[in-house]
Amino acid sequence: MKNLIIAPHPDDEILGLGGTIVKKSSKEKFGVLYVTSMVKNKNWSKKNIQNRDKEIDSVKKFFRLEFVKKLDFPTSQLDMISKYEIINKINEVIKTFKPDRVFIPNPTDAHSDHKIVFDASAACSKSFRNPFIKHWICYEVISETEQSLKNNFKPNYFVTLTKKQIEKKIKGFKIYKSEVGKFPFPRSKESIIALSRYRGTSVNSEFAEAFCIKKMID
């Protein structure tokens, strides 16, 4: 089974399904497509960008990812890019990797980049265009999914996890040093554990990650 995770930003892939990667990577392949990247401006220096590239490389090794690919569209500026261009770039990666399963952000996440990435990904979901894809699945990102005033994330697929798997997810997430905050900040160790416990209670498990299946072909 080949899995492609389409992530608006580096860290979304771990927050959404870091535990799932840990659980399944010994038998399944995972690749990550990062749609946006830091660009040099008043917010990010050349050093910031170099550090982020090193973090992505470390994440690839830590989670034993099959590949990582960056489209390098500017973060928080996807609404200024032609949607046609975004769709074509995403579709190029899909056709190259030929995944069986694609994970995409939730359409009502608070961040505009997440919404645009969902729409662009959904445009690639026609089965006559990419017939090898059997599953299209939305993941949730703490600090984005639950923060939306339009949140409609209703999970119907859960991956149960052990304490050891959650701990490894958190260890991997901490590679992105600038994204980690202190509780009650959503992207904190305590918050990630709290969400995984909450999702676990839905399926009689100590921990879990939750997803919403948008399309499944058997």
pLDDT, one tens digit per residue, over 76-102 is 999 999 999 999 999 999 999 999 999
Band of the pLDDT at 42, cuts 50, 70, 90? low
Taking only the tens place, the pLDDT of each residue in 139-183 is 999 999 999 999 999 999 999 999 999 999 999 999 999 999 999
Contact in structure between 212 and 154 (CB atoms under 8 Å):
yes
CA 201 to CA 197: how far, in whole Å?
Answer: 6
Q: What is the mean pLDDT of residues 14-42?
A: 94
- Other residues' Cβ atoms within 10 Å of the Cβ of residue 199: 22
How distant, in Å, are the alpha carbons of 145, 176, 177, 215 from that of 189? 17, 13, 12, 32
Pairing of strands 135-139, 207-216: antiparallel
Position 68 pLDDT exceeds 90: yes
Average pLDDT, the chain: 96
The CA distance from 18 to 169, in Å, is: 5
Nearest to 71 by CA among 116, 29, 108, 107: 116
* Residue 93, helix vs strand vs coil: helix
Q: Please state the separation of Cα 212 from the chain's center in Å.
A: 13
Domain at 2-160+209-216: CATH code: 3.40.50.10320
Please tell me whether the peptide bond between 184 and the residue prior to it is cis, using omega within 30 degrees of 0: yes
DSSP state of 79: G
The answer, as to whether pTM is greater than 0.95, is: yes
**40 pLDDT above the threshold of 80:** no
Q: What is the mean pLDDT of residues 27-56?
A: 91
Q: How many CA atoms lie within 13 A of 62 on its CB side?
A: 19
DSSP code at position 215: E
Note the Cα 45 to chain centre separation in Å: 25
pLDDT tens digits for range 103-144:
999 999 999 999 999 999 999 999 999 999 999 999 999 999
CA 178 to chain centre: 17
